[in-house]
Structure 1
Amino acid sequence: MADPTLEEIATELYAGPPEDFVSGRNARAKDAGDAALAAQIRSLRKPSVAAWVVNVFAQERAGQLDQALQLAAELREAQEDLDAAALAKLGRERRMLTRRLAETAAELAGSRGERVTPATLEAVEQSISAAFFDPDAAAAVASGRLIRALEPSGSSTDVRDAVAGGVPTLGAPPERPADELKARREKREAERRVHSAEKDLVAAERDLAKRDKALRRIQEKAEELAATEAELDAQLTKVRTEMKQVQRDIPDAEKERTRAAEQAAAATSEVADARRALEEF
């Protein structure tokens, strides 16, 4: 049976009880049959509490972590095809998943008697978040050999320095059919077109309802004006009829007026004659 490698020994030590790390490290170095390996074991640094919590989670929930990291890899590959709204939704879901995994890791640490402070929980969450954004960080977290917590903005050098032993690598993601990415992009483009067409339809229906309302107002006004026009036409016809009758009556009225004027003149003359006769007495 082959002797354990430095990475295998480190993996075991970095998930063991923190208070036993130094004694466990020294014991494994003493038992190592190779002097070079023993020196490497003695050089292993004690992990921070946050790194230990991540290491415990990586070993106890390896399947759950692997699924999350595979999903993160697929999302990194696909996010260049997403629009702003989809990216925002993806960001929210990624943060929720990061928080959920960090809380699970903290619960595991708590079950082993370790108190996880809010600061430690935040560092655990930052390490998992780094794994979601960077393949090297993902491999480091999955190794279970973290010495210290990771930062999402950390460089490749930072990641290497945070891992005990050789720098791990993740397995290659499962191969997909050559045309799957193209089909996925075409599907997203079709979904965007549907979404855009639906927005245009809503706007067009809203505009149509507005135009219908305006047309009804104009039609109602036209009906009102038509009724007024008919009423005025009837009044005009009546006025014209009365005008014609008045015009026919004018000659007779003028004749009667002339006759009355002549009678008035004659009466005036008779009154004058009667007054003169009276004065003679």
Structure 2
Amino acid sequence: MVTVSRNCSTASKSPPWGHLQEVLELSETTEEETVQEVSLREIEEPGAKEVLDEDLEEEEEEEPEEKLPGPTLLTPTTASPTQDEEDGFTYVFSRLNSLDAAVHRLNVQFYHMDLRVSQFSKGLAELKGSVTEAQESLASLNEIATRNQKELGRIDGCLRGRRTQTKCFLVFKHFEVYDGAQKLCEARGGHLAMPADATEMAVLRRYLHDAFHPYNWPAWVGIHDRRAEGLWLFENGHRVSVFDWYRDHLVTQPNGGARENCVSLSSDDGKWWDNDCERRMYYICEYRL
């Protein structure tokens, strides 16, 4: 009996557990409210807001910086190509095949062009050879024609002109300068008349008189002193040994000096006169028999 009463007294003296929890929760709530009230009072005081802001900034500065994520490395995959990639490869291969075909066609065309150029070059070479042969033939024909013309001129000169023992004289009645007359005589197989002695001078004098009678016309002969004044030469370069200059009481030939270097004969008497070589007059050609 004594024991039971002791236990009951002990239980009445100790507070129950639920009441203790209520007390503890009240104390915790009271502490939180107290902290909040103190914080509000500090904020309301002057300068408290600035202090609070500074504290917040310090806390933000102390916060560790967030690390940015680094670059991610792409690892090759062994996945099969997509349909678009396969279509792209197919398109590229088709274009390459088209280019190969086009290149082949161009090569074929170039081959045919080279073949045509080769044939054209061959034909051109043959044509050049033919032209060369034709030119050579033409040159030969011209040479033959020149010889024939000279031979015909010589024959015509002797048939229509006046003969001596070794040559023929033929008068041409159209006006030429001295050098022009010489060229025309050469084209016909002769040259300007060159009376070498008194016999030839007499034949030429009578021939001129008969050709121009009753008029008196001068005519070129192949005598000049253009190489040196007073040195009279035939057209073939030989020196003149027989002279028949005109002289009377008024005129003595030659009298032209360096201005008159070519000789003409007067048709009425066959006398010699020196004249300007650029003067135009009739001329006399001679041809060898």
TM class, shorter-length: under 0.3
Q: TM-score, normalised by structure 1?
A: 0.27
TM-score relative to the length of structure 2: 0.26
Indicate the structure with greater helix content.
1
Q: Which has the higher strand share?
A: 2
* Higher CA-based Rg: 2
